[in-house]
Amino acid sequence: MNRLTKYQARLLLPAIIDDEATEQEKSAFFEYLKYDPELEREYYSTLQVKRILSEHLPKKPAPEHLKKKILQRLEIEKQKEDFEKGMTAVNTSKESKNKRSEWNSLIKSGFRYTAAAAIILMITLMTVQLLERSTGSFNEEMFIIENISAQHFQQSNGAFLEPHIATTSHQEAENYLRKHYGLNVTIPNLTGTEFAGLLMADFHSGMEAPLLKYIQKDIGENIYIFAFNLDQLNSYKQMKREDNAAKSCTTQTDYFVNNVNGTHVVSWLWDNNWYSAVSNHNGHDLASLVEPLNIN
């Protein structure tokens, strides 16, 4: 697929948010986002809206009486359209009447679509106002660590940059972070993998975070873990952990799996650091590799 235009990328946005796009479309969309900060902000804002709506307005099946009313209304509209088509056919010999019929049909359709759009807009505005009062989440644009971790992985198709320090020694990597960045980070042990080193990644908008790389040679898979010092993280007012993950992870063995458009992101808290792991694995399978998260 060729590089998308802004118009094409914006058209794809709803399908990306609802995880209905093809892998090729996702790849092209996230590649385009690298060059369009405005649409990138819109993407994350829309993700946030979807998350808030799902938390505060869970889906419920429509009542039977509403289904019947909708079906009845659709049938009435269909009968009207069939009648108008029939009238147009009868008057085909009279050009002026044809034109009037076409204009009338267009005007009626326009009224119907305008009315529908007005109703949708009114409901949306009411929902936004309700959520603003109940959560305050729309007052400031927020970015979620787990969403951005998944986006990095999706954009790169699992193939990240080569490490700044290529080492299999956890101790050497920990010393490197302490000496060069003042970070006390524990490098996790992952069963059945080989630690391959780390790099300081531009996580989002100039915010850097250590990115740890692991290799599963027997199956040809890579696993990546972002690590964040909570004190530094709190200094970024528009960056935060996913709410459910933050609430769930309070001990050394707790973890939480977020499904971000089909990519599982595993989060946990050790000491004063927050870890966000991503791979092609199911999230719980990935968590089972991390010591001591694999305690049953």
Same domain, 160 and 78: no
* Residue finishing a domain among 107, 135, 163: 135
Same domain, 210 and 278: yes
Same domain, 152 and 238: yes
Same domain, 192 and 256: yes
Q: Which phi and psi (to 5°) does residue 167 adopt?
A: -150, 150
Asked if residue 296 belongs to a domain, the reply is no
Asked if residue 29 belongs to a domain, the reply is yes
Same domain, 237 and 275: yes
What count of residues does the chain have?
296
Give the three-class secondary structure for 191: coil
Same domain, 109 and 170: no
DSSP code, position 236: -
Same domain, 276 and 161: yes
Q: Which residues of 275-284 are buried (b: 16+ CB within 10 A; e: fewer)?
A: bbbbbebebe
Tokens of 229: 């010092």
Query: What sections of 136-273 are H helices per DSSP?
Result: 145-156, 170-181, 230-235, 243-248
Q: If phi over 0 gives left and psi between -120 and 50 gives alpha, with beta otherwise, what is residue 288?
A: alpha
The span from the CA of 166 to the CA of 172, in Å, is 10
Range of the domain at 269: 144-291
Asked if residue 1 belongs to a domain, the reply is no
Asked if residue 10 belongs to a domain, the reply is yes
* Residue finishing a domain among 135, 170, 198: 135
Same domain, 109 and 167: no
Strands (E), the chain: 143-144, 189-190, 194-204, 207-216, 221-229, 239-240, 256-260, 263-270, 273-278, 290-291
Residue indicated by tokens 């290529």: 166
Same domain, 157 and 269: yes
Same domain, 93 and 18: no
Q: What is the pLDDT of residue 107?
A: 47
CATH number of the domain within which 166 lies: 3.40.1000
Who contacts 229 (Cβ-Cβ below 8 Å, separation ≥6)?
183, 184, 185, 272, 273
Q: What is the pTM of this model?
A: 0.58
Same domain, 114 and 157: no
Q: What is the pLDDT of residue 252?
A: 87
CA atoms within 13 A on the CB side of 239: 21
Same domain, 263 and 195: yes
Asked if residue 245 belongs to a domain, the reply is yes
Query: Each residue's pLDDT tens digit in the chain (296 positions)?
Result: 678 888 888 888 888 888 888 888 888 888 888 888 888 888 887 877 777 666 655 566 667 776 677 777 777 777 777 766 666 655 555 555 555 555 455 445 445 544 555 555 555 555 555 555 554 444 456 789 999 999 888 887 656 567 778 889 999 999 999 999 999 999 999 999 999 999 888 888 788 899 999 999 999 899 999 999 998 888 888 899 999 999 999 888 999 999 998 899 999 999 999 999 999 999 999 999 998 886 55
Domain count, the chain: 3
* Residue finishing a domain among 135, 154, 185: 135
The span from the CA of 179 to the CA of 173, in Å, is 10
